[in-house]
Protein backbone atom coordinates (compact mmCIF):
# COMPACT_ATOMS: atom_id res chain seq x y z
CA UNK A 1 0.00 0.00 0.00
CA UNK A 2 1.25 3.45 -0.88
CA UNK A 3 2.16 5.79 1.97
CA UNK A 4 0.14 8.99 2.22
CA UNK A 5 1.99 12.32 2.24
CA UNK A 6 0.64 15.85 2.54
CA UNK A 7 2.67 18.86 1.36
CA UNK A 8 1.50 22.39 2.16
CA UNK A 9 2.57 25.79 0.84
CA UNK A 10 1.14 29.27 0.33
CA UNK A 11 0.67 30.52 -3.21
CA UNK A 12 2.91 29.34 -6.04
CA UNK A 13 4.26 32.68 -7.25
CA UNK A 14 7.57 33.21 -9.05
CA UNK A 15 10.36 32.75 -6.50
CA UNK A 16 13.27 30.58 -5.48
CA UNK A 17 11.48 28.70 -2.70
CA UNK A 18 8.56 28.04 -5.02
CA UNK A 19 10.93 26.71 -7.70
CA UNK A 20 12.47 24.36 -5.15
CA UNK A 21 8.96 23.13 -4.27
CA UNK A 22 8.32 22.38 -7.95
CA UNK A 23 11.64 20.50 -8.03
CA UNK A 24 10.68 18.43 -4.98
CA UNK A 25 7.23 17.57 -6.35
CA UNK A 26 8.63 16.71 -9.79
CA UNK A 27 11.19 14.29 -8.35
CA UNK A 28 8.89 12.40 -5.96
CA UNK A 29 8.44 8.62 -6.34
CA UNK A 30 4.71 8.44 -7.04
CA UNK A 31 4.88 4.67 -7.40
CA UNK A 32 5.45 4.35 -3.65
CA UNK A 33 3.85 7.50 -2.26
CA UNK A 34 0.49 9.20 -2.73
CA UNK A 35 1.10 12.94 -2.48
CA UNK A 36 -1.61 15.49 -1.67
CA UNK A 37 -0.71 19.14 -2.20
CA UNK A 38 -2.60 21.78 -0.24
CA UNK A 39 -1.96 25.31 -1.50
CA UNK A 40 -3.51 27.91 0.77
CA UNK A 41 -4.04 30.12 -2.28
CA UNK A 42 -4.32 28.55 -5.71
CA UNK A 43 -2.72 31.35 -7.67
CA UNK A 44 0.69 32.19 -9.07
CA UNK A 45 2.70 31.94 -12.28
CA UNK A 46 4.09 28.51 -11.41
CA UNK A 47 0.65 26.93 -11.06
CA UNK A 48 0.81 25.16 -14.43
CA UNK A 49 4.23 23.68 -13.55
CA UNK A 50 2.75 21.48 -10.83
CA UNK A 51 3.21 17.80 -11.75
CA UNK A 52 -0.03 16.01 -12.60
CA UNK A 53 0.83 13.02 -10.40
CA UNK A 54 0.38 14.96 -7.17
CA UNK A 55 -3.24 15.50 -6.08
CA UNK A 56 -4.16 19.14 -5.62
CA UNK A 57 -6.65 19.55 -2.78
CA UNK A 58 -9.49 22.08 -3.16
CA UNK A 59 -8.77 25.61 -2.00
CA UNK A 60 -10.19 26.54 1.41
CA UNK A 61 -11.65 30.02 1.73
CA UNK A 62 -10.21 30.70 5.21
CA UNK A 63 -6.47 30.16 4.58
CA UNK A 64 -6.88 31.69 1.11
CA UNK A 65 -8.07 34.90 2.78
CA UNK A 66 -4.61 35.34 4.31
CA UNK A 67 -3.23 35.91 0.81
CA UNK A 68 -5.65 38.73 0.03
CA UNK A 69 -5.49 42.35 1.10
CA UNK A 70 -7.89 43.65 3.74
CA UNK A 71 -9.39 45.88 1.04
CA UNK A 72 -10.14 42.82 -1.10
CA UNK A 73 -11.77 41.06 1.84
CA UNK A 74 -13.96 44.09 2.58
CA UNK A 75 -15.05 44.23 -1.08
CA UNK A 76 -15.95 40.54 -0.82
CA UNK A 77 -17.74 41.23 2.51
CA UNK A 78 -15.65 38.51 4.17
CA UNK A 79 -15.72 40.20 7.57
CA UNK A 80 -14.91 36.94 9.38
CA UNK A 81 -11.47 37.19 7.75
CA UNK A 82 -11.14 40.95 8.19
CA UNK A 83 -11.50 41.02 11.99
CA UNK A 84 -8.50 38.80 12.87
CA UNK A 85 -6.38 40.64 10.30
CA UNK A 86 -7.19 43.97 11.92
CA UNK A 87 -6.49 42.47 15.34
CA UNK A 88 -3.10 41.25 14.08
CA UNK A 89 -2.22 44.70 12.75
CA UNK A 90 -3.15 46.29 16.07
CA UNK A 91 -1.10 43.71 17.95
CA UNK A 92 1.99 44.38 15.81
CA UNK A 93 1.59 48.15 16.16
CA UNK A 94 1.45 47.86 19.95
CA UNK A 95 4.00 45.11 20.55
CA UNK A 96 6.55 45.39 17.74
CA UNK A 97 6.30 48.94 16.45
CA UNK A 98 7.21 50.44 13.12
CA UNK A 99 10.74 51.54 14.09
CA UNK A 100 11.81 48.08 15.22
CA UNK A 101 10.41 46.47 12.09
CA UNK A 102 12.15 49.01 9.89
CA UNK A 103 15.45 48.38 11.69
CA UNK A 104 15.25 44.68 10.89
CA UNK A 105 13.99 45.39 7.35
CA UNK A 106 11.91 42.22 7.70
CA UNK A 107 8.79 43.69 9.27
CA UNK A 108 6.51 41.79 6.90
CA UNK A 109 7.40 38.53 8.61
CA UNK A 110 6.13 39.67 12.01
CA UNK A 111 2.86 40.78 10.44
CA UNK A 112 2.50 37.51 8.55
CA UNK A 113 3.13 35.60 11.77
CA UNK A 114 0.45 37.62 13.56
CA UNK A 115 -2.04 37.07 10.73
CA UNK A 116 -1.72 33.31 11.18
CA UNK A 117 -1.72 33.53 15.00
CA UNK A 118 -5.02 35.43 14.98
CA UNK A 119 -6.63 33.52 12.08
CA UNK A 120 -5.75 29.86 12.66
CA UNK A 121 -8.53 28.95 15.11
CA UNK A 122 -11.54 29.09 12.71
CA UNK A 123 -9.64 27.37 9.87
CA UNK A 124 -11.02 23.90 9.31
CA UNK A 125 -8.71 20.92 9.93
CA UNK A 126 -8.15 18.32 7.22
CA UNK A 127 -10.15 15.16 7.84
CA UNK A 128 -7.70 12.75 6.23
CA UNK A 129 -4.94 11.13 8.31
CA UNK A 130 -1.49 11.15 6.73
CA UNK A 131 1.65 9.12 7.20
CA UNK A 132 3.66 12.34 6.84
CA UNK A 133 2.89 16.05 6.59
CA UNK A 134 5.49 18.37 5.07
CA UNK A 135 5.04 22.09 5.69
CA UNK A 136 7.26 23.53 2.98
CA UNK A 137 6.88 27.28 3.45
CA UNK A 138 6.74 29.32 6.69
CA UNK A 139 4.49 30.11 8.58
CA UNK A 140 3.81 26.53 9.66
CA UNK A 141 0.66 27.00 11.75
CA UNK A 142 -1.63 24.91 9.54
CA UNK A 143 0.30 21.63 9.64
CA UNK A 144 1.14 22.23 13.30
CA UNK A 145 -2.49 22.60 14.40
CA UNK A 146 -4.83 21.41 11.64
CA UNK A 147 -3.29 18.20 10.29
CA UNK A 148 -3.07 14.66 11.68
CA UNK A 149 0.08 12.78 10.64
CA UNK A 150 2.47 10.16 12.02
CA UNK A 151 5.42 12.45 11.34
CA UNK A 152 5.51 16.20 10.71
CA UNK A 153 8.36 18.02 8.96
CA UNK A 154 8.73 21.79 8.43
CA UNK A 155 11.27 23.77 6.38
CA UNK A 156 13.60 26.68 7.14
CA UNK A 157 14.63 28.51 3.95
CA UNK A 158 16.25 31.63 5.39
CA UNK A 159 18.90 33.00 7.73
CA UNK A 160 16.96 33.11 11.00
CA UNK A 161 19.15 35.86 12.40
CA UNK A 162 17.43 38.40 10.16
CA UNK A 163 13.79 37.43 10.68
CA UNK A 164 12.01 39.97 12.90
CA UNK A 165 9.28 37.88 14.52
CA UNK A 166 8.12 36.94 17.99
CA UNK A 167 10.57 34.11 18.65
CA UNK A 168 8.67 32.73 21.66
CA UNK A 169 5.46 32.30 19.69
CA UNK A 170 7.39 30.97 16.69
CA UNK A 171 9.17 28.36 18.83
CA UNK A 172 5.81 27.15 20.14
CA UNK A 173 4.75 26.34 16.54
CA UNK A 174 8.03 24.54 15.78
CA UNK A 175 7.44 22.32 18.82
CA UNK A 176 4.60 20.60 16.95
CA UNK A 177 7.06 19.16 14.42
CA UNK A 178 9.09 15.97 14.70
CA UNK A 179 11.82 17.22 12.35
CA UNK A 180 12.91 20.62 11.03
CA UNK A 181 14.50 20.70 7.57
CA UNK A 182 17.12 23.37 6.86
CA UNK A 183 18.36 23.97 3.31
CA UNK A 184 22.04 24.20 4.28
CA UNK A 185 24.30 23.29 7.20
CA UNK A 186 25.05 26.93 7.96
CA UNK A 187 21.36 27.77 7.85
CA UNK A 188 20.85 24.99 10.42
CA UNK A 189 23.67 26.26 12.61
CA UNK A 190 22.05 29.70 12.72
CA UNK A 191 18.60 28.27 13.44
CA UNK A 192 19.93 26.14 16.31
CA UNK A 193 21.65 29.21 17.72
CA UNK A 194 18.29 31.00 17.82
CA UNK A 195 16.38 27.96 19.14
CA UNK A 196 18.79 25.67 21.03
CA UNK A 197 15.86 23.69 22.44
CA UNK A 198 15.04 22.53 18.90
CA UNK A 199 18.57 21.49 17.91
CA UNK A 200 17.88 17.75 18.09
CA UNK A 201 15.09 18.09 15.52
CA UNK A 202 17.16 19.85 12.85
CA UNK A 203 18.43 18.05 9.76
CA UNK A 204 19.76 19.31 6.43
CA UNK A 205 17.61 18.68 3.34
CA UNK A 206 18.95 20.71 0.44
CA UNK A 207 16.76 22.06 -2.34
CA UNK A 208 15.92 19.49 -5.01
CA UNK A 209 16.53 20.83 -8.53
CA UNK A 210 15.94 19.23 -11.92
CA UNK A 211 18.95 19.65 -14.17
CA UNK A 212 17.04 18.46 -17.24
CA UNK A 213 14.19 20.91 -16.61
CA UNK A 214 16.55 23.87 -16.17
CA UNK A 215 18.54 23.05 -19.31
CA UNK A 216 15.40 22.47 -21.38
CA UNK A 217 13.84 25.72 -20.17
CA UNK A 218 17.06 27.60 -20.95
CA UNK A 219 16.57 26.66 -24.61
CA UNK A 220 12.90 27.70 -24.64
CA UNK A 221 13.61 31.04 -26.35
CA UNK A 222 16.38 33.48 -27.19
CA UNK A 223 16.54 36.66 -25.07
CA UNK A 224 17.31 38.95 -27.98
CA UNK A 225 17.60 42.04 -25.79
CA UNK A 226 20.65 40.52 -24.11
CA UNK A 227 22.11 38.78 -27.12
CA UNK A 228 22.36 41.92 -29.25
CA UNK A 229 24.50 43.73 -26.66
CA UNK A 230 28.25 43.71 -27.36
CA UNK A 231 29.59 44.43 -23.87
CA UNK A 232 29.89 42.14 -20.84
CA UNK A 233 26.53 40.89 -19.59
CA UNK A 234 25.92 40.40 -15.87
CA UNK A 235 22.71 39.02 -14.38
CA UNK A 236 21.05 38.92 -10.95
CA UNK A 237 17.74 37.26 -10.04
CA UNK A 238 15.67 37.67 -6.89
CA UNK A 239 12.95 39.44 -4.98
CA UNK A 240 13.32 43.22 -4.89
CA UNK A 241 13.82 43.59 -1.15
CA UNK A 242 16.36 44.86 1.39
CA UNK A 243 17.91 41.41 1.78
CA UNK A 244 18.94 41.22 -1.90
CA UNK A 245 20.58 44.70 -1.90
CA UNK A 246 19.91 45.38 -5.59
CA UNK A 247 20.10 49.13 -5.02
CA UNK A 248 23.68 48.62 -3.89
CA UNK A 249 24.34 46.56 -7.03
CA UNK A 250 23.50 49.69 -9.06
CA UNK A 251 26.37 51.47 -7.27
CA UNK A 252 28.72 48.60 -8.13
CA UNK A 253 27.57 48.79 -11.74
CA UNK A 254 28.39 52.52 -11.85
CA UNK A 255 31.95 51.82 -10.71
CA UNK A 256 32.38 49.00 -13.23
CA UNK A 257 31.17 51.22 -16.06
CA UNK A 258 34.15 53.49 -15.50
CA UNK A 259 36.23 50.66 -17.00
CA UNK A 260 33.55 48.98 -19.15
CA UNK A 261 31.12 51.60 -20.53
CA UNK A 262 29.35 48.96 -22.64
CA UNK A 263 28.71 46.67 -19.65
CA UNK A 264 25.09 45.64 -19.06
CA UNK A 265 23.79 44.38 -15.71
CA UNK A 266 20.33 42.77 -16.00
CA UNK A 267 17.96 42.30 -13.09
CA UNK A 268 15.08 39.80 -13.01
CA UNK A 269 12.49 39.81 -10.24
CA UNK A 270 9.82 41.84 -8.52
CA UNK A 271 9.01 43.21 -5.08
CA UNK A 272 8.42 46.18 -2.81
CA UNK A 273 11.75 47.91 -3.55
CA UNK A 274 11.32 48.12 -7.32
CA UNK A 275 10.75 51.88 -7.30
CA UNK A 276 13.74 52.45 -4.99
CA UNK A 277 15.95 50.49 -7.38
CA UNK A 278 14.69 52.45 -10.37
CA UNK A 279 15.23 55.73 -8.51
CA UNK A 280 18.83 54.69 -7.77
CA UNK A 281 19.35 53.80 -11.44
CA UNK A 282 18.09 57.22 -12.49
CA UNK A 283 20.08 59.08 -9.82
CA UNK A 284 23.31 57.44 -10.99
CA UNK A 285 22.43 57.78 -14.70
CA UNK A 286 22.66 54.01 -15.17
CA UNK A 287 19.56 53.63 -17.37
CA UNK A 288 21.62 52.25 -20.26
CA UNK A 289 23.70 49.92 -18.12
CA UNK A 290 21.52 48.58 -15.29
CA UNK A 291 18.39 47.12 -16.86
CA UNK A 292 15.39 45.91 -14.86
CA UNK A 293 13.68 43.14 -16.81
CA UNK A 294 11.01 42.55 -14.15
CA UNK A 295 9.24 39.31 -13.28
CA UNK A 296 10.07 36.36 -15.53
CA UNK A 297 8.39 32.98 -15.19
CA UNK A 298 11.33 31.44 -17.03
CA UNK A 299 14.63 33.16 -16.14
CA UNK A 300 16.85 30.41 -17.56
CA UNK A 301 17.36 31.74 -21.13
CA UNK A 302 18.64 34.97 -19.54
CA UNK A 303 20.99 32.98 -17.29
CA UNK A 304 22.26 31.09 -20.32
CA UNK A 305 22.89 34.35 -22.19
CA UNK A 306 24.81 36.15 -19.42
CA UNK A 307 28.59 36.12 -18.99
CA UNK A 308 28.62 36.20 -15.16
CA UNK A 309 25.90 35.60 -12.58
CA UNK A 310 26.03 37.93 -9.55
CA UNK A 311 24.27 37.59 -6.17
CA UNK A 312 25.51 40.43 -3.97
CA UNK A 313 22.99 39.89 -1.16
CA UNK A 314 23.07 41.01 2.46
CA UNK A 315 21.61 37.66 3.56
CA UNK A 316 20.53 34.37 2.04
CA UNK A 317 19.34 30.99 3.28
CA UNK A 318 20.38 29.03 0.21
CA UNK A 319 19.72 30.79 -3.06
CA UNK A 320 18.04 28.58 -5.67
CA UNK A 321 18.97 31.04 -8.44
CA UNK A 322 22.70 30.61 -7.74
CA UNK A 323 22.40 26.83 -8.03
CA UNK A 324 20.45 27.19 -11.28
CA UNK A 325 23.14 29.45 -12.76
CA UNK A 326 25.78 26.90 -11.74
CA UNK A 327 23.79 24.09 -13.39
CA UNK A 328 23.91 26.17 -16.58
CA UNK A 329 27.69 26.46 -16.27
CA UNK A 330 27.86 30.15 -15.45
CA UNK A 331 30.73 31.77 -13.54
CA UNK A 332 29.13 32.90 -10.27
CA UNK A 333 30.16 35.67 -7.88
CA UNK A 334 28.37 36.15 -4.56
CA UNK A 335 28.85 38.32 -1.48
CA UNK A 336 30.16 36.97 1.81
CA UNK A 337 26.85 36.65 3.64
CA UNK A 338 26.82 34.21 6.55
CA UNK A 339 25.70 31.14 4.57
CA UNK A 340 27.84 31.84 1.47
CA UNK A 341 30.23 28.96 2.19
CA UNK A 342 27.35 26.50 1.84
CA UNK A 343 26.54 27.94 -1.57
CA UNK A 344 29.90 28.32 -3.29
CA UNK A 345 33.31 26.67 -2.93
CA UNK A 346 35.33 29.85 -3.23
CA UNK A 347 37.69 29.68 -6.21
CA UNK A 348 36.30 26.32 -7.36
CA UNK A 349 32.71 26.78 -8.55
CA UNK A 350 32.32 30.47 -7.79
CA UNK A 351 33.86 33.51 -6.15
CA UNK A 352 32.93 34.90 -2.73
CA UNK A 353 33.54 38.64 -2.42
CA UNK A 354 33.34 41.00 0.54
CA UNK A 355 30.10 42.97 0.64
CA UNK A 356 31.56 46.42 0.05
CA UNK A 357 31.78 48.62 -3.01
CA UNK A 358 35.54 48.37 -3.51
CA UNK A 359 35.76 44.57 -3.08
CA UNK A 360 32.80 43.73 -5.29
CA UNK A 361 33.98 46.07 -8.03
CA UNK A 362 37.52 44.66 -7.89
CA UNK A 363 36.41 41.00 -7.87
CA UNK A 364 33.88 41.39 -10.69
CA UNK A 365 36.45 43.30 -12.73
CA UNK A 366 38.97 40.53 -12.10
CA UNK A 367 36.48 37.89 -13.23
CA UNK A 368 35.73 39.88 -16.38
CA UNK A 369 39.43 40.21 -17.21
CA UNK A 370 40.48 36.65 -16.31
CA UNK A 371 39.04 34.43 -19.04
CA UNK A 372 40.94 31.39 -17.76
CA UNK A 373 39.34 31.79 -14.31
CA UNK A 374 35.87 32.01 -15.84
CA UNK A 375 36.53 28.87 -17.86
CA UNK A 376 37.80 27.03 -14.78
CA UNK A 377 34.70 27.97 -12.77
CA UNK A 378 32.47 26.86 -15.65
CA UNK A 379 34.29 23.55 -15.98
CA UNK A 380 33.92 22.83 -12.26
CA UNK A 381 30.22 23.71 -12.15
CA UNK A 382 29.49 21.39 -15.06
CA UNK A 383 31.31 18.56 -13.27
CA UNK A 384 29.35 19.12 -10.04
CA UNK A 385 26.01 17.61 -9.02
CA UNK A 386 23.56 20.26 -7.79
CA UNK A 387 20.31 18.29 -8.12
CA UNK A 388 20.41 16.95 -4.52
CA UNK A 389 18.22 13.96 -5.28
CA UNK A 390 19.54 12.31 -2.09
CA UNK A 391 17.34 14.80 -0.22
CA UNK A 392 14.36 12.70 -1.26
CA UNK A 393 15.87 9.64 0.37
CA UNK A 394 16.02 11.51 3.68
CA UNK A 395 12.30 12.28 3.40
CA UNK A 396 11.43 8.72 2.36
CA UNK A 397 13.37 7.30 5.31
CA UNK A 398 11.52 9.56 7.75
CA UNK A 399 8.15 8.51 6.35
CA UNK A 400 9.00 4.81 6.23
CA UNK A 401 10.34 4.85 9.77
CA UNK A 402 7.22 6.60 11.08
CA UNK A 403 4.98 4.01 9.43
CA UNK A 404 7.10 1.10 10.68
CA UNK A 405 6.88 2.37 14.26
CA UNK A 406 3.09 2.57 14.22
Q: Which three-class secondary structure string do you get for the chain? A: CCEEEEEEECCCCCCHHHHHHHHHHHHCCCCCEEEEEEECCCCCCCHHHCCCCCEECCCCHHHHHCCCCHHHHHHCCCHHHHHHHHHHHHHHHHHCCHHHHHHHCCHHHHHHHHHHHHHCCCCCCCCCEEEEEEECCCCCHHHHHHCEEEEEEEEECCCHHHCCCCHHHHHHHHCCCCEEEECCHHHHHHHHHHCHHHHHHEEECCCCCCHHHHHHHHCCCCCHHHHCCCCCEEEEECCCCHHHCHHHHHHHHHHHHCCCCCCEEEEECCCCCHHHHHHHHHHCCCCCCEEEEECCCCCHHHHHHCCEEEECCCCCCCCHHHHHHHHCCCCEEEECCCCHHHCCCECCCEEEECCCHHHHHHHHHHHHHCHHHHHHHHHHHHCCCCCCCHHHHHHHHHHHHHHHCC
Asked if residues 302 and 266 have their Cβ atoms less than 8 Å apart, the reply is yes
Asked if residues 318 and 339 have their Cβ atoms less than 8 Å apart, the reply is yes
Percent pLDDT > 90 in the chain is 81
Q: Classify domain 211-382 by CATH architecture.
A: 3-Layer(aba) Sandwich (3.40)
pLDDT in tens, 234-289: 999 999 999 999 999 999 999 999 999 999 999 999 999 999 999 999 999 999 99
pLDDT at 1: 86
For the segment 84-105, the average pLDDT, to the nearest whole number, is 70
User: 338 pLDDT exceeds 60?
Assistant: yes
User: 104 pLDDT exceeds 70?
Assistant: no
pLDDT at 115: 94
pLDDT at 99: 45
* pLDDT level of residue 299 (50, 70, 90 thresholds): very high
Question: Cα–Cα distance between 141 and 67 in angstroms, integer?
Answer: 15
User: 105 pLDDT exceeds 70?
Assistant: no
For the segment 24-37, the average pLDDT, to the nearest whole number, is 95
* pLDDT level of residue 98 (50, 70, 90 thresholds): very low
Residue span(s) of the chain under CATH 3.40.50.2000 come to 3-60+124-208+388-404, 211-382
Nearest to 353 by CA among 376, 331, 323, 380: 331
- Domain 3-60+124-208+388-404, CATH: 3.40.50.2000
pLDDT in tens, 342-355: 899 999 999 999 99
Please count the residues of the chain: 406
Nearest to 244 by CA among 267, 221, 261, 228: 267
Amino acid sequence: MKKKILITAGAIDVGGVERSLIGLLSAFDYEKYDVDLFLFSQKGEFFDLLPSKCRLLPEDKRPASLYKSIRELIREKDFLAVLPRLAAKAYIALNVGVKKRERHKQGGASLQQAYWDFSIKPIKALEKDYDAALSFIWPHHFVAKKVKAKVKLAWVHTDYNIVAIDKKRDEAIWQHFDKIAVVSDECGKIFKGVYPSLASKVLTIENVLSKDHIINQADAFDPTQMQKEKGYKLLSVGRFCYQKAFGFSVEVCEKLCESYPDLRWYLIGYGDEEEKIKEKIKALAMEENFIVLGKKKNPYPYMKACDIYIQASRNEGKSVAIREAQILGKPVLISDYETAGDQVRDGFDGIISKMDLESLTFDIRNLIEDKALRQELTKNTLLSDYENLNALEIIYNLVDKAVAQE
